[in-house]
Structure 1
Amino acid sequence: MPSSTLSPQQTRPPRSSGLSLSAVATGFLVALVGYASSVAVVIQGLAGVGADTAQIASGLAALGVSMGLAAILLASWQRKPISIAWTTPGMALLAATGPVAGGFPAAVGAFLTVAVLVMVTGLWTPLGRWIAAIPKPLANAMLAGILLKLCLAPFAAMAQAPGLGLLVLVTWAVVGRFARLYAVPAAVAVALAAMALNPPDTGGAFSGFALPSLSLVTPVFTWEALVGVALPLFVVTMASQNIPGLTVLATFGYTPRVPPVFLVTGALSALTAPFGAPTINLAAITAALCAGPDADPQPERRWQAAVVGGIGYILLAGLAAVTATLVLRSPPILIEAVAGLALIGAFGGALLGAVQVEEERVPALMTLLVTASGLSFWGVGSAFWGLLFGGAMHALHHWRPAGSKAV
C-alpha cells in the first residue's frame, strides 16, 4: 500500500538551470548598493593622494570595468557567487595618508605594486600565509585606526555646514531604522542632490551628464610610496577584503579555487592601474547578498547574481565623470561625512575584532592609536608604523626567556 506521506525528494520543488530572476534582481541591487555606499570614499582616497578630477573620473571608470569583468569571469568560470569590489578600507587608507612623494604617479606605482603582490599571492602560497599570520587583532586595529578620523567626519560636518550635515545624518539614521541596507545610499543621494542644487560660487552650475575618458598616468616608483602606501594597502586589502570575502563564501558553503581569484583580480588591477584605478578584490559585505538565499533558493544558481552585479558595475562606470564632478565640487567636509557614515559599520567591526581578546588588547590599542595619530617618518605613513609598533608590543608580550614558564 503506497504511503500517504511524500518523501523529501517528492516535496522539494523542481530544480531549474535557467536564468534566475531573483539572482538578476539581487545582482543589480549589489551593484547599486556597492557603488552608492562607498563611491565617496573612493573619490576622497584618490583625491587624497593627488589625483585631479579627470584622473579620479578615469580611475572610477577603470575600476567599474575591472570589477565587472572580474566578477563575470570568475563567477561564470567557477559557477560560484564570487563578488568583486573595490577596497573601501584601502581607499580610507589613501585618504588618511595624504599626498606622497612623487605625487599621483607615485600612488599609481603603489597601485601597480599591490596588484603584482596579489598575483604573487595567487602563485606563491607562503606570501598568503604570511599575511594570514598577522595577528587578527593587530590587522583589525590598524583598520580601525585608519577609519577613525573619517568616522568622526559626520559630526564635524554638522559644525561646519549645519544644515547639510544634519540633513545627511538624519537621512542615514531614519532610513537605517527601517532598511539598513539602504541607509548609506539614501544619505549619498541626499548629499548628491544638495551638491547639484547648491554648487559652489567658484564652480558655476552643474553642466549635466558626460561620459568619462581614460587618463593615462605613467607610474613612478618611490620607496616612500612603496613602504607608506603599497605595503599597508596590500595588507589592508588582504586582511579586510580578500580573507573575509573567502570566509563569507565559506559560510554559505562555497569554496572557490583561490589562486585564480588572486590572479584574475591582480592582473586586471595591474592593467587598469595606469588609468588611476586602485586594486580590486573580493567583496566582503555584498558577497553575502549574492551568496545568500535571497539571490536564489537553489545554491547552484546564485553565481548568476555575481555575474549580473558585474554587469551593473560596468554600466555604472559610465557615471564616473558626473559622480566625480558632483562630489569634488561640494564642500570637502560633506564628502568626508558621507564617507564616514559608509564606514561606521566597518569601524565597529574592526574595533570589536581589535579589543575582544584581552591578552592582545594592549598591542592592538597601540596599533590603533599610532595609526590614528597620523605619525609619519621619512615619508612613510602611520598605518605602517602602527602595525610595526603594535607588532613589537605583541612580540614583547609573548616573549618568554628560554626555559621559563608562563605564569
Structure 2
Amino acid sequence: MSRTLEPEPSTTDPVLTHAISAGVVTALVGFTSSFAVVLTGLRAVGASPTEAASGLMALCVTQAVGILWLSRRYRMPITLAWSTPGAALLAGTGAVQGGWPAAVGAFVVVGLAVVLTGLWPRLGRLIAAIPTTLAQAMLAGVLLQLCLAPITALRDSPAAVAPVVAVWLVLQRFSKRWAVPAAFATAAVVIGVSLARDDRSLDATALIPRFDPTVPHWTWQALVGIAVPLYIVTMASQNIPGVAVMSSFGYRVPWRAAMTVTGLGTVCGAPAGGHAINLAAISAALSAAPTAHPDRNRRWIAAFTSGWAYLVLAFCSAALAALVAAAPAGVIEAVAGLALLATLGGALAAAVADDSDREAAVLTFLIAASGVGILGIGSAFWALVAGLATRLVLRGIRRPDTP
C-alpha cells in the first residue's frame, strides 16, 4: 500500500515561517552550546587543531544529512546531534595506545555497534539493562573535572574568564537556552581583544573548511577504553532519552531506521574525525514541541530546516576551531565547563535516585572522576566494571526484604 504524502507547505504561511525559525534556533542552540566540548574532547584523544576542525565539520554534515532524510521520510520532527556526553568522555579519557588513529578506529566501532543495536533487538535490550544509576554515575564522574574548569580558570585568568561567567549567569536568569551561546559570544570578544592586544591574527589557511581524513587503526586499549564507554554513554544518555523525549510529544521514533542512520553516519564521519552522532535529547524538544508548529503533523518542517542549518554551520567549523585555538588559557575550557553543568546536574540526580544502588553509583562516580587508568584503559571503563561488580555483590548480600 503506497503512502500518501501531504501537500508541500507554502512558505508564505506565517505559522510555517515560525516552524522554519524554530528549526534554525534548534541548530544554532545545538551547535553553539556544545561545539567547544567537541573540540576539547577530540584534542584530548590526540587530534591536531586541523583534525579537530575536520571532526566538527564531519559531525555537522553527517547529522544534517541524517536529519534531512529521517524527518522528511517519516514526517516527524526527528533531530540528531553529536554525542556531547561522548565528547566529554573523550576529554576525560585522554590519549590512548595508538594515538589519534586508534581513537578514529574506536569511533568506527561505535558506529557499527549502533547499527547492530538497531538490527538486533537483543543488543538494545542488553544496553537498556545497564542500570541507569551506574551509567549516569560514570558520566557524572567524567564530567566533574570538565565542570571544575570554570572555577580554576577564573582563579588563574580572572580578567579573561569573569566576563564569560557573568554573561552566562545573567542569561541563566532570563533565557537559559541562550546562556551558553552568549557565553561563547563573550569568549569570542575576549579572544578578539587578546589577538589585538598581542598584535596577532588568525592563520587564513586555518579558516578554510576541509576534511582531514585519518586511516583508522585498532588497538585493544582504544576499543575497551574509548569504544565501549562511548557506545554506552551515547546509547544511555542520548538515544534512549531521545526516544523518550519524542514520545512525550506523541511521536514514536522508528528505532531501527534511526539507529541505522546514526550508526552509518558515525562510521562515515569517523575517518574525518567525527566521534558519534545520535538522536537529539534536550534539543529535540525545540522542534517537537507545540511552539514549533501548532499542527503536530507539520513540525517535521522545523527539524528539516535544522538539517539545512547544520549544513551551513559546517562551513563555519574551521573558523570557529581556529578561534578556539587562539583563545587565552582557560577561556574555552570555562565555556565547555559551563555548557556541561546542566548535564552534570542531571547525571548526579539520576545516579543517586535509587537508594538500593547508591553505594555502587557513588563508587562508579569516584572511580570515573579519579581519571586513573589501568593497562592503558581509561577510568570510565573501570568505573562501570567496578560499579556493576559492587551492585552484584551488594544485591546478593542484602536480604529480599532489605530496603
TM-score for both structures, normalised by structure 1: 0.93
- How far off its partner does 1:210 sit? 2.8
Query: Helix, strand or coil for the counterpart of 1:285?
Result: coil
Do structure 1's residue 92 and structure 2's residue 88 form an aligned pair? yes
- How far off its partner does 1:332 sit? 4.1
- How far off its partner does 1:264 sit? 0.7
Do structure 1's residue 247 and structure 2's residue 227 form an aligned pair? no
Show structure 1 runs of 5+ residues with no match.
1-14
Verify the 8 A CA contact 1:58 1:212 in the aligned structure 2.
Answer: yes
Could you tell me which residue of structure 2 aligns to residue 258 of structure 1? 255
Structure 1 residues 5-404: aligned runs within 5 Å = 18-19=10-11, 20-199=16-195, 204-207=200-203, 210-399=207-396
For residue 385 of structure 1, what is the amino acid of its counterpart?
W
- How far off its partner does 1:137 sit? 0.6
Q: Percent identity?
A: 46
Cα pair distance change 1:204/1:16, threshold 3 Å = closer
Verify the 8 A CA contact 2:82 2:277 in the aligned structure 1.
Answer: yes
Show structure 2 runs of 5+ residues with no match.
1-6
Aligned structure 1 segments of 4 or more residues deviating by more than 6 angstroms? 200-203
* Distance in 2 of aligned mates of 1:62 and 1:405: 50
* Distance in 2 of aligned mates of 1:218 and 1:16: 42
Query: Helix, strand or coil for the counterpart of 1:137?
Result: helix
- How far off its partner does 1:216 sit? 1.2
Query: Helix, strand or coil for the counterpart of 2:81?
Result: strand
For residue 256 of structure 2, what is the amino acid of its counterpart?
P
Query: Helix, strand or coil for the counterpart of 1:330?
Result: coil
Query: Helix, strand or coil for the counterpart of 1:192?
Result: helix
Cα deviations by residue, 1:192-236 (Å, 9 ceiling, x for unpaired): 221133139999312568331111100000000000000000000
Larger radius of gyration: 1
Aligned CA RMSD, in angstroms, stands at 1.8
Verify the 8 A CA contact 2:49 2:321 in the aligned structure 1.
Answer: yes
Query: Helix, strand or coil for the counterpart of 1:255?
Result: coil
Verify the 8 A CA contact 1:252 1:292 in the aligned structure 2.
Answer: yes
* Distance in 1 of aligned mates of 2:207 and 2:358: 50
For residue 208 of structure 2, what is the amino acid of its counterpart?
L
* Distance in 2 of aligned mates of 1:265 and 1:128: 15
Verify the 8 A CA contact 1:118 1:263 in the aligned structure 2.
Answer: yes
* Distance in 1 of aligned mates of 2:48 and 2:212: 10
Q: How many residues align?
A: 391
Verify the 8 A CA contact 1:400 1:406 in the aligned structure 2.
Answer: no
Q: Which moved more, 1:85-94 or 1:332-341?
A: 332-341
Query: Helix, strand or coil for the counterpart of 1:316?
Result: helix
